[in-house]
Amino acid sequence: MGARGATASSEAADVVLVEDRLDRLVDALRIAKRSRRVAVESVALGMGLAFTFMVAGAVGLIGPVAGAVVQEVIDVASILSALRALRGGVERAPAGLRTDVAERFRAEHRAFGPELARIRATADRLEGLEPAARRAALEEVRRFLVERLPEHEEAEEAEVYPLVARLAGGEDPMSSMARAHVEIGHLTRVFRTLVDDLADGELAPEDLVELRRLLYGLHAILRLHFAQEEEAYAWLTAAEPVG
């Protein structure tokens, strides 16, 4: 899947999606089913008309010259019927949509850069920090995850995702990014619960391992998710606002 996929994978695959969107498989299935239906209809049309006029020629209703002309007409009709497969079968995205709403969220992504760096740095330094410093660092991370990030994600789902979905077309093109929000929320809840349960003393070894795992996981999924959203925002331009 994806135009940047390995050549070996493309050669071995039965189906290659040139976009990094699994919902395009639905479009491919829809195209295949419609193409097969059009092919069967065209074959039935050609064979049905040919058989009918063959019977007519056999009983003497049409002569050889007329029969040859009719056969050519039948061939042309079958071909034109088969050409219906070239159009339709996929929902077309509306054209001409312009908006500058994505610029605000791109700016927020840039502003979140230091916060992502803080998450990674906290995970790296977790074991060597003094208890008070460790608690303060974890509180800073929690403040970002619980207060700033959810507001950003809710605004994206309400303002940007519907616009990108309209342009991208297909079956729920933003499902993977919405699912990422769910996973981020789950990791955040686990992290918040663990931090709330911590005492000011030393961390237990299992708590340290779990906290580091959560922090690295949050850092990785947030970086990947922001990159996915930036790619999706390429559907939008700032030429003119959406009416």
pLDDT in tens, the chain (243 residues): 655 556 666 677 777 776 666 666 777 788 888 889 999 999 999 999 888 888 888 888 888 888 889 889 999 999 998 888 887 655 554 444 455 666 777 888 888 999 999 999 999 988 787 878 888 888 899 999 998 888 888 888 887 777 777 766 666 667 777 888 889 999 999 888 888 777 555 667 777 888 889 999 999 999 988 887 877 776 665 433 333
Residues of the chain with pLDDT > 70, as a percent, come to 77
For the segment 67-85, what is each residue's pLDDT rounded down to a tens digit?
889 889 999 999 998 888 8
Secondary structure (3-state) at 5: coil
The reported pLDDT for the residue numbered 215 is: 93
- How many Å apart are CA 148 and CA 142, to the nearest integer? 10
pLDDT of residue 166: 72
- pLDDT score at 176: 75
pTM greater than 0.75: no
Question: According to the model, what pLDDT value does residue 216 have?
Answer: 93
Amino acid 100: pLDDT: 63
Q: Which residues contact 50 (CB under 8 A, 6 or more apart)?
A: 71, 74
99 neighbors 163 (Cβ within 8 angstroms)? yes
Please state the domain extents for the chain.
Answer: 7-86, 101-235
Q: Could you give the 3-state DSSP secondary structure of residue 191? A: helix
- 226 Cβ neighbours under 8 A, 6+ residues apart: 109, 112
- So what's the pLDDT on residue 96? 45
142 phi-psi bin (left φ>0, alpha ψ -120 to 50, beta other): alpha
CA of 212: how far to CAs of 56, 140, 187, 219, 226, in Å?
83, 15, 12, 11, 21
At 17, give phi and psi (nearest 5°): -95, 120
- pLDDT for 157-194, tens place per residue? 887 777 777 766 666 667 777 888 889 999 999 888 88
